[in-house]
């Protein structure tokens, strides 16, 4: 009974229930619908007037509401398949005067994808808690999206994309230049996924000699070859079972190994060297490269069938020069990080230094920036980083310099034009329209030149 002290209580409660994020249904002791909120009716393609008085099984597919109304046993977080979607449903009996008079049902997440995405979102916020950090150390993954310091809209969009894809088991191919932080994104995807408590195993395909890579990835049985470890050895894929394997520098893998890897990915099983049995795998695969795989496919140096297998979800990490809005955020972070490690106090960085950093091309991306900040902190004579402490090679770089590999005036002019475009775009923090305005060229000309020099 509603309290008379609140004259609008009935209207408030009805509004809340009708607009609740969850879907709601109430049945009587016989399983007949007493109430069903508008959102649930809309999903089931019925009206509230139609459903009231009907048995719940006539309206909701695979329902158990009538069973709960009879047994009095509540059912929490039960999967229910309705109209092509799995729902996560709660069913709670209603008692009055010591007997069951009905049941109350809710759907908190409208399908399992929605639940997974919410789970990823929660994990993202939990990543700052110490207990979660300890878990990361056990599984092998240690970086989260919180470790990717940025301020640009591009990176914000990329992080949101990572949160949405983490919930899936699809293969991810991370593209980007060296030093852009591809590995940090691989760690983050794993830790935001339902596999976060499983192992995270990383392999640098370019750092392991080809003759050893097969045994490293797939393992071997006892006596498989001369020098084999007694008892055999588990490969990286087996070690990653139930979790994620991260294959870095996948573009450096030989064609011979590409064939073997493709078979493992297709069959979802691995056969150790020297073995006569296959081992089933449950592994999510994340790969990364800085090499142009499309060009390698044209020259038959990378298999197209493997490419399509590993690039179900492509992620591109932009170079630092294309997201200069992140520069100051990164500089502050690296100053704090290096200062804590070295014990040297730095209170500020001179504006001339920041201007120089904005003008630099950043071939080595984030990794190069961290190295430059570390060097500057060591070389700073006071608690302020000045130009004197900055490495010489990044200061006063000419538009054209003698170490450029060009053979003609045409090439030199093209290189000079490219460098001018890069510096002007950097100056305006990636705003290409402002850069075009400063250079007094049309917007269409700017985009033609950007495409010409591959500056997208």
pLDDT per residue as tens digits for the range 28-41: 999 999 999 888 88
pLDDT surpasses 90 at 137: no
For CATH 1.10.10, the residue range(s) in the chain are 409-452
What per-residue confidence (pLDDT) applies to 101?
Answer: 93
For CATH 3.30.450.20, the residue range(s) in the chain are 9-110
Q: pLDDT band at 273, cuts 50/70/90?
A: confident
- 453, 418 in Cβ contact below 8 A? yes
Least confident of 137-146, 193-202, 436-445: 137-146
Write the CB contacts of 352 (distance below 8 Å, at least 6 apart in sequence): 386, 387
pLDDT surpasses 80 at 201: yes
Quote the pTM value.
0.61
Q: How far is CA 372 from each of CA 60, 375, 380, 391, rounded to the nearest angstrom?
A: 63, 5, 12, 7
Q: How many CA atoms lie within 13 A of 370 on its CB side?
A: 13
Name the residue with higher pLDDT: 87 or 371: 371
Name the residue with higher pLDDT: 233 or 407: 233
Reply yes or no on domain 320-394 having CATH 1.10.8.60.
Answer: yes
CATH architecture entry for 409-452: Orthogonal Bundle (1.10)
Segment 87-97 shows an average pLDDT of 88
Tokens of 430: 């990636």
pLDDT surpasses 90 at 162: yes
What per-residue confidence (pLDDT) applies to 363?
Answer: 85
Give the integer Cα–Cα distance in Å for 204 and 186. Answer: 13
What per-residue confidence (pLDDT) applies to 280?
Answer: 94
What CATH number does the domain located at 115-316 have?
3.40.50.300
* Residue reference for tokens 């709960």: 68
Instruction: Give helix 432-439 / helix 443-452 axis angle, nearest 10°.
Output: 110
Q: How far is CA 379 from each of CA 78, 92, 272, 335, 406, rounded to the nearest angstrom?
A: 62, 68, 52, 13, 35
Least confident of 130-144, 271-285, 332-346, 418-432: 130-144
For CATH 3.40.50.300, the residue range(s) in the chain are 115-316
Reply yes or no on domain 9-110 having CATH 3.30.450.20.
Answer: yes
pLDDT surpasses 70 at 118: no
* Residue reference for tokens 């120089």: 356
Query: What is the tens place of the pLDDT at every residue in 164-186?
Result: 999 899 999 999 999 999 999 99
pLDDT surpasses 90 at 26: yes
Give the integer Cα–Cα distance in Å for 91 and 71. Answer: 11
Query: What is the tens place of the pLDDT at every residue in 381-440?
Result: 889 999 999 888 887 655 444 444 545 667 767 777 787 788 778 777 778 888 888 888
What per-residue confidence (pLDDT) applies to 408?
Answer: 65
**Count of Cβ atoms closer than 10 Å to residue 427 Cβ:** 16
For CATH 1.10.8.60, the residue range(s) in the chain are 320-394
Write the CB contacts of 327 (distance below 8 Å, at least 6 apart in sequence): 320, 354, 357, 358, 369
What per-residue confidence (pLDDT) applies to 426?
Answer: 74
CA nearest to 13, candidates 23, 2, 4, 22: 2
pLDDT surpasses 90 at 264: yes
What per-residue confidence (pLDDT) applies to 102?
Answer: 94
Least confident of 122-126, 192-196, 215-219, 234-238: 122-126
Least confident of 4-8, 106-110, 363-367, 431-435: 4-8
Name the residue with higher pLDDT: 79 or 134: 79
206 phi/psi in degrees, rounded to 5: -85, -15
Write the DSSP string, 79-112: EEEETTEEEEEEEEEEEETTEEEEEEEEEEESSH
Strand pairing of 219-220 and 384-385? unpaired
Side by side, which strands form the sheet with 172-175? Answer: 200-204, 244-248, 284-289, 172-175, 313-316
pLDDT surpasses 70 at 125: no
* Residue reference for tokens 């305005």: 437
pLDDT surpasses 80 at 128: no
What per-residue confidence (pLDDT) applies to 228?
Answer: 62
Per-residue 3-state assignment (H helix, E strand, C coil) for 40-65: HHHHHCCCHHHHCCCEHHHCCCCCCH
Query: What is the tens place of the pLDDT at every residue in 278-309?
Result: 899 999 999 999 999 999 999 999 999 999 99
Give the integer Cα–Cα distance in Å for 223 and 427. Answer: 62
What per-residue confidence (pLDDT) applies to 403?
Answer: 46
Average of per-residue pLDDT values in the chain: 84
Segment 191-212 shows an average pLDDT of 90
Tokens of 61: 């597919």
Q: pLDDT band at 111, cuts 50/70/90?
A: low
Segment 51-77 shows an average pLDDT of 92
């Amino acid at each position: 009974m509603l309290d008379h002290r609140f004259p609008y209580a009935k209207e408030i409660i009805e509004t809340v229930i009708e607009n609740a994020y969850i879907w709601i249904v109430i049945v009587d002791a016989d399983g007949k619908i007493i109430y069903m909120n508008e959102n649930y009716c809309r999903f089931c393609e019925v009206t509230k007037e139609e459903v009231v008085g009907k048995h719940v099984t006539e309206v909701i597919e695979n329902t158990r509401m009538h069973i709960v109304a009879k047994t009095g046993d509540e059912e929490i977080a039960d999967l229910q398949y309705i109209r092509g979607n799995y729902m996560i449903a709660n069913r709670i009996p209603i008692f009055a005067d010591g007997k069951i008079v009905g049941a109350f049902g809710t759907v908190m997440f409208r399908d399992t994808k929605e639940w997974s995405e919410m789970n990823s979102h929660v994990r993202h916020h939990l990543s700052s808690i110490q207990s979660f950090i300890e878990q990361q150390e056990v599984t092998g993954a240690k970086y989260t999206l919180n470790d990717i310091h940025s301020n640009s809209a591009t990176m914000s969009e990329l992080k949101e994309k990572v949160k949405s894809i983490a919930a899936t088991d699809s293969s991810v191919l991370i593209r980007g230049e060296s030093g852009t932080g591809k590995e940090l994104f691989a760690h983050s995807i794993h830790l935001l996924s339902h596999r976060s408590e499983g192992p995270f195993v990383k392999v640098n395909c370019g750092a392991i000699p080809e003759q050893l890579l097969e045994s490293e990835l797939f393992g071997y049985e006892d006596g498989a070859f001369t020098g084999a470890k007694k008892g055999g050895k588990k490969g990286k894929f087996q070690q990653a079972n139930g979790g994620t394997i991260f294959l870095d520098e996948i573009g450096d893998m030989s064609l011979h190994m590409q064939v073997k890897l493709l078979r493992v990915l297709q069959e979802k099983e691995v056969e150790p060297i020297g073995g006569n049995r296959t081992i089933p795998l449950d592994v999510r695969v994340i790969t990364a490269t800085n090499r142009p795989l499309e060009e390698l496919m044209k020259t038959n140096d990378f298999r197209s069938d493997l490419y399509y297998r590993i690039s179900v979800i492509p992620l591109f990490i932009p170079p630092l020069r294309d997201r200069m809005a992140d520069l100051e955020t990164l500089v502050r972070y690296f100053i704090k990080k290096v200062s804590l490690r070295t014990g040297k106090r730095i209170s500020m960085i001179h504006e001339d230094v920041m201007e120089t950093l904005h003008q630099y091309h950043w071939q080595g991306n984030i990794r190069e920036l961290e190295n430059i900040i570390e060097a500057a902190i060591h070389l700073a004579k006071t608690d302020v980083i000045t130009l004197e402490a900055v490495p010489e090679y990044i200061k006063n770089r000419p538009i054209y310099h003698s170490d450029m590999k060009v053979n003609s005036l045409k090439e030199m002019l093209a290189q000079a034009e490219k460098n001018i475009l890069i510096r002007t775009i950097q100056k305006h923090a990636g705003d290409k329209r402002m850069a075009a305005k400063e250079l007094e060229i049309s917007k269409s000309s700017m985009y033609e030149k950007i495409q010409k020099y591959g500056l997208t």
